[in-house]
Structure 1
């Protein structure tokens, strides 16, 4: 049996390249609504959006308000008037069509799905995240998908982790690993939920001063040595194994 029987994965920045998806969807949205589709506008939007998502993690704003407020604030910054609800709907529709998968993701999921239950725990809008998972072709590897917009709680709140584990009937949290790129949402949240955590430090950022992950990796293939027993590690890459997809 694997060291960890269940692996919870964050989605954006961990499995999917959200920066690439966001850039493409945002540029299409700006052009459609006659905003300047420039690097400067994108930087303004990202600053607004990042601040609002940080407020969400602190419990200061609800997600349904956040997704519209970011376009209200962008309009205030640029002095351009459009319907922010329509802008957000158009943006989310474009975002749903984008599933930029990190190169090693499918191979890692294929191998880990042989030895552990794989689950998505993601902050985001449900139909957008599900659409991107389906388009990426990796949805069949997961036994459960828990999105904050559907659950009614966002990471780092313990509730979203509790909902996921209770729904799957998983009681032994010592055998559960949370994997994600956000120190606040994934590592702090996972730690508070009584889980071991793995920080995906793909950008080689300085280590955290407060919230300490159980493990730190710089590429997803390093998960094999964390999750698998020696016998399972020996079978990685064996083409004779039965894969679920």
Structure 2
């Protein structure tokens, strides 16, 4: 393997911790009662939003409306874009890295691999989080759906990466990520091998089949350096 495309959230950066802290702050600021329950309900709703985005839905509109629509179910009226901006700013300053990720990237970089980011996140948020976590130097290029114009698993997302790195092939490149629906399915759509990073040992009850599955970075490092 010469090229590794890494998802960011819950693959390199600890999105769960960052999201919980940011949501809690937003909900406190807007008087949400029973915040733990609200966070659970929001997660279920937000999952539907990202499914629509991954299927080609209007990304900016969906994100700008999500807090307005969700908080309205709790009887709280807000300006959607303003609360989305508030949330983005909080998330952009959340720099939690998954333990072991830094050592993994350092080792792969020293071994001569070209490391790329391929994420569906929001551009300024992802760039801020990477910079704040001091992770940017590990990556040769950062591909974000907002800039690319397409979200994983759309083949056009991966074609944009290939356009920048025409030496990539289906035998020297791998996609690494935690999401079957976007990372693994996206790789399959362009015949790239994939590694499903699954530290929680979640069952795969879908028709999406990763090439490899690992549950820790030691396994991932060995796989990438010997595959």
TM-score with structure 1 length normalisation?
0.88
User: Is 1:82 aligned to residue 81 of structure 2?
Assistant: no
SS of residue paired to 2:19: helix
- Whether contact under 8 Å (2:3, 2:168) holds in the other structure is no
Pairwise CA RMSD of aligned residues? Answer: 1.4
- Summarize deviations over 1:137-186 as a string: whole Å, max 9, x none: 11100001000011110000011111112113333232000000000100
After alignment, is 125-134 or 64-73 more displaced? 64-73
User: Is 1:190 aligned to residue 187 of structure 2?
Assistant: yes
Give the Å deviation of 1:229: 3.8
User: Is 1:95 aligned to residue 88 of structure 2?
Assistant: no
SS of residue paired to 1:174: coil
Instruction: Map 1:1-245 to 2 at 5 A.
Output: 4-36=1-33, 38-59=35-56, 61-114=57-110, 115-229=112-226
- Summarize deviations over 1:116-152 as a string: whole Å, max 9, x none: 1000000011000000011111110000100001111
- Summarize deviations over 1:203-224 as a string: whole Å, max 9, x none: 1011344111110000122122
Distance 2:18 2:209 in 1: 29
SS of residue paired to 2:171: helix
Highest Rg: 1 or 2?
1
TM-score with structure 2 length normalisation?
0.95
SS of residue paired to 1:207: coil
5+ residue gaps, structure 2, are: none
After alignment, is 25-34 or 109-118 more displaced? 25-34
For these two proteins, the number of residue pairs brought into alignment is 226
SS of residue paired to 2:143: strand
